[in-house]
Amino acid sequence: MTTTTTTTTTNTTRKKSTRRTKLLSQAMDIDRVSIESRKQASRVLEVLAGVRTPEDAASALGISVPTYYHLEMRALRGLVHACTPEPPGRKQALGRQVREAETRCVELERQVQRYRALLRSAQRAAGVLAESPEAPKGKGRTAADKRKKPRQPRVRALRAIDALTSASDGEEQVDVMAATVEGSP
């Protein structure tokens, strides 16, 4: 009878561990991740837990040790970013944010037009000549305006540098080859 009780306890423990594993895999969205990514993540966790050495993990993944350390750094960076607190409350949908930005843009354009009209009326009242608006495009341009500036040759490397320095986030890495392809004439 005691053996039956021990077997039952082992089965319930297995059921609980199977259920926990299933819930964990659902929470991590494992179905959406490639097998290779899962393998890499498990090897990194094994190294961090002390089960494997970095050299063993690198050989199991078929990569060099420096590449493994790069992979580990990316994994840790992802962990740290995932641990940053999210703002409280409901998240706004992207479409709603776009609509709000568009309405704000329209409001600001109206304000600019209003302030320009106020400026013109104040200039007229003060007797100051208003600055001429931008030169009209098309038929009203003079011969001097029609001449084009000579084209300045640019090297693809300079375009790539511009693309890299114009990135909004300094930590964001940009592929140099993609930048040169996009900037090619």
Q: What are the tens digits of pLDDT across the range 112-132?
A: 999 999 999 998 888 887 666
Q: Are 42 and 28 in contact (CB under 8 A)?
A: no
pLDDT of 79 reads 87
Predicted confidence (pLDDT) at residue 89 exceeds the cutoff of 90? no
| CA torsion, ordered 166, 172, 178, 180, to nearest 10 deg | 30
Q: Decide if pLDDT at 161 tops 70.
A: no
> Quick one: pLDDT at residue 172?
46
Asked if residue 63 has pLDDT above 60, the reply is yes
Q: Is 178 exposed, middle or buried (0-12, 13-18, 19+ CB in 10 A)?
A: exposed
Amino acid letter, residue 173: Q
Asked if pLDDT for residue 106 goes beyond 80, the answer is: yes
- pLDDT band for position 176 (50/70/90)? very low
% of the chain surpassing 90 pLDDT: 28
C-alpha span between 161 and 166 (Å, rounded): 8
Confidence of residue 59 (pLDDT cuts 50, 70, 90): very high
| Distant-in-sequence contacts of 81-89, Cβ < 8 A, 24+ apart | none
Task: Indicate if the pLDDT at residue 84 is higher than 80.
Answer: yes
65: pLDDT confidence band, cut at 50, 70 and 90?
very high
Residue with the larger pLDDT of the pair 86 and 153: 86
Distances in Å between the alpha carbon of 184 and those of 44, 94, 146, 152, 166? 40, 32, 27, 15, 17
| Per-residue pLDDT at 70 | 95
Computed over every residue of the chain, the mean pLDDT equals 75
pLDDT in the model for residue 144: 60
Comparing 55 with 25, the larger pLDDT belongs to 55
Confidence class of residue 38 from pLDDT cuts 50, 70 and 90?
confident
Q: What is the mean pLDDT of residues 61-70?
A: 95
Phi, psi of 124 (to 5 degrees): -65, -40
* Domain map (residue ranges) of the chain: 14-82
pTM (2 decimals)? 0.39
